[in-house]
Amino acid sequence: MWIILKYFLRQFLNYWKHLPLRIKIEIVILLTVFYIYATDQLVLKFRSLLAQPDIQALHLNTLIQLGLLLPLLAGIPFIYFSLIPRQKSIQLLRFLPLDPGQSAMLLLVHFWKYELIYLIIILPVATAVGITLGLWSLSCLLILLGLLPSVMFIFLHLLSAIFSARYKILFIYL
């Protein structure tokens, strides 16, 4: 099961090695500037929201978690039904005898590969939550963002194994 994760990590590292040095430096500088600026602006916004008497830290934390989870969970059916079946690696591996753990890991790796850009974008939000609301809120956010989409993706996969009609699967999922 871990060999699949190791394979995709090695694929990313080989891609990174083949980039020219100038491109690597540009990517690191741009991501660092984006990360610092976005985190600073979000910390200021969260602190100004917490300064209002009607908003408590728990409410702000819940609002941020739900706001980040909604686009992540809404994209799961699109990724499962449209993007993953077009992957050449899944088409090649579907003829091999994979146990349920290996097939679940393969699907999850492909799902998180598509959600990688979203995770990079929400990294400043997670850092701002950790700075303004504390480490407890940050740990709850990270566990929720890592665990719930994976569970819902596997749930959608199990529903598709049980039912054959796509609309029935989406209705039960939603």
Taking only the tens place, the pLDDT of each residue in 98-155 is 777 777 778 888 888 888 888 888 999 999 999 999 999 999 999 998 899 988 888 8
Q: Give the pTM.
A: 0.79
Residue 173 contacts residue 97 (beta carbons within 8 Å): no
pLDDT digits (tens, 9 = 90+) for 28-46: 999 999 999 999 999 999 9
Measured between alpha carbons, how far is residue 37 from residues 25, 132, 167 in Å? Answer: 18, 16, 43
d(CA 120, CA 95): 34
d(CA 103, CA 99): 6
Instruction: Return the percentage of the chain with pLDDT > 90, whole number.
Output: 40
Give the distance, in angstroms, between the CA of residue 71 and the centroid of all CA atoms in the same chain. 10
What's the pLDDT at 139? 92
